[in-house]
Amino acid sequence: MQEYLAPIYLWLKAGHIIFVIFWMAGLFMLPRFFVYHQEAEAGSAEEAIWAEREQKLLKIILLPSIIIVWLLGLALMSATGAHLQGWFHAKLLFVLLLSGYHGYMASYAKKLARGERPLEGKKLRLLNEVPGIAAAIIVILVVVRPF
């Protein structure tokens, strides 16, 4: 597989980085949308607008981005043999955790759309920090390759 992907390695890498940026932007925006959504009066037109924005963000930006990030990431892994290195295992763990966070946020959007508000605004603001922390750790693992 490596010999087939080697000629397009830089394109795979560029595409992976581009879609990671899109994915991360969406993951930063979504909890902020949730805060505004929860601050809107229940049953109001404003609440409905926030629910619609959240669904658009999830379907137009986040879902395609996570799929492309995973596909290109797996192609890069195959092209470079990264799966044989310790730093990659740690990176994969954090990407899996970030993917789980994405899924949790998508499920929270559905709860909000149904009128449920299980988390306080303060907790949503704290959850907004998760993608930044994960991104910092992932970048350090990929660039520094500490093990």
> Among candidates 87, 81, 102, 96, which has minimal Cα distance to 139?
87
Binding site annotation covers 16?
yes
Rg value, the chain, Cα: 18
Binding site annotation covers 102?
no
The answer to whether 24 and 131 have CB atoms below 8 angstroms apart is yes
CA distances from 72 to 65, 66, 104 (A): 10, 10, 23
- Residues 92, 98, 100, 105, Cα dihedral to 10°: -170
Binding residues: 16, 91
Binding residues for heme: 16, 91
